[in-house]
Amino acid sequence: MPAPVGDLLWGPSGRRRGHARLTLLALAVYLLFSAVCWLEVHLGMMQAAPAAWLCATSLAGISVFYGLVRSGLSERLSSDPSLTMPQSVFGIAITAWGYAINPQLRGAVMAIMLLNLVWGMFVMSPREARLLGAQALALLGGVMLWKSRTDPAQFPPHVEAIQFLFCVILMTAMSALAVSMGRLRAKLRQRQAELQAALAKIHHLATRDDLTGLVNRRHLTELLDAERGRQKHHGQPLSLVLMDLDHFKPINDEHGHAAGDRVLKIFADAAQAALRDTDVLGRWGGEEFLLMLPSTPQAQALQCVDRLRAGLAAAPFDEVVPGLRLTFSAGLSTCGDGEALQAAIERADKAMYRAKLRGRDGTVVG
């Protein structure tokens, strides 16, 4: 089918399109059954007036369902945008009606009743499947009882009793199968959720530093390469800041590695709070951190570093070591046109060491 026609009938891509296609398929099934009804009328097996009312009601009803699904209105009316349960209940009612006005082929109508259960088997929950099976059995059984009393000539009571027993067996079996399918879907959804959670955890472990929660060096390198490509394409500046915590080794030596780890974590949290959403801070190694500043020229990058220093001044390092004031030495470089990323990192590294030689707690532009 040409794409414009498909878009018109089924709607935009996504779940709504799939729901609309299924509802349109149901409409086609109703059309076929209506054609069979009129064939029975032509052969003298059904009366024209009841057949006309049945066909008109069934086609009007399924058309309403199609309109609700295709327009997206069903997404606001129900937690199930496909309206599977309402469509199935409607189909059961139409089928029971057809049973009442089609005495000669009412056995075939029972097969259509099963189709209503199969239709929702892959969508309904176990509870909905049991409820739908009970509704189908109750409605069809009620019609059988009614017709056997009001028209025993065409609906003999003993025949209807046997028909009902067959109906009980078939409906029970189909409902049990639908319940099993619902439980299987629930297990699959649970396993899919567990798999997604496991993949998210693996991704976190592969891209994050365990101690600080910042991106690790490998993932930061990937982000740098991607950002460098965007920078070249859009002509935006990319600034890098390599930072080394001043006098960090004595903290480990005098207060233990646990204290040093806590200091690193506090630094990471304070730095993250002081940065913009677009900035990326990663642990480069040990007490070294690399800050990526996309679309940031040199002057603004220096302001970002100053803002980070101000944030560190208020960080609670003294909770770990009384009186501790943590500072860092930083080297800043801005990637030039055509410059390799590694060359810009090396410039920032050399500038950082010059900052240390100048007395620490400062920033040098490389």
Catalytic residue numbers read: 287
What pLDDT is stored for residue 40 in this prediction? 87
What pLDDT is stored for residue 252 in this prediction? 87
Instruction: For the chain, list the domains and their CATH numbers.
Output: 3-200 (no CATH), 217-365 (3.30.70.270)
Look up tokens 């890098």; give the residue.
240
b/e string for 302-341 if b means 16 or more Cβ within 10 A? Answer: bebbeebbebbeebebeebbeebebebbbbbbbbeeeeeb
Q: If you average pLDDT over residues 189-200, what whole number do you get?
A: 90
What pLDDT is stored for residue 9 in this prediction? 64
Chain centroid to Cα 279, Å, comes to 27
Chain centroid to Cα 46, Å, comes to 50
Residue 358 tokens read as 């100048």
Residue 27 pLDDT > 70, yes or no?
yes
Residue 115 tokens read as 């189709």
Residue 4 pLDDT > 80, yes or no?
no
**Residue 329 — pLDDT band, cuts 50, 70, 90?**
very high
Give the residue, 252 or 126, on which the prediction is more confident.
252
Q: If you average pLDDT over residues 106-119, what whole number do you get?
A: 78
Percent of the chain with pLDDT over 90: 33
pLDDT tens figures, 123-173: 777 788 788 888 888 998 899 999 899 999 888 998 889 988 988 888 888
Q: If you average pLDDT over residues 278-291, what whole number do you get?
A: 93
| Alpha-carbon dihedral angle through residues 351, 355, 361, 363, given to the nearest 10 degrees | -40
Q: Where are the alpha helices (DSSP H) in the chain?
A: 3-10, 15-42, 48-71, 74-77, 84-101, 106-119, 126-150, 157-207, 217-234, 249-255, 257-274, 298-313, 341-357
> Considering the chain, what is the average pLDDT of its residues?
87
Residue 5 pLDDT > 60, yes or no?
no
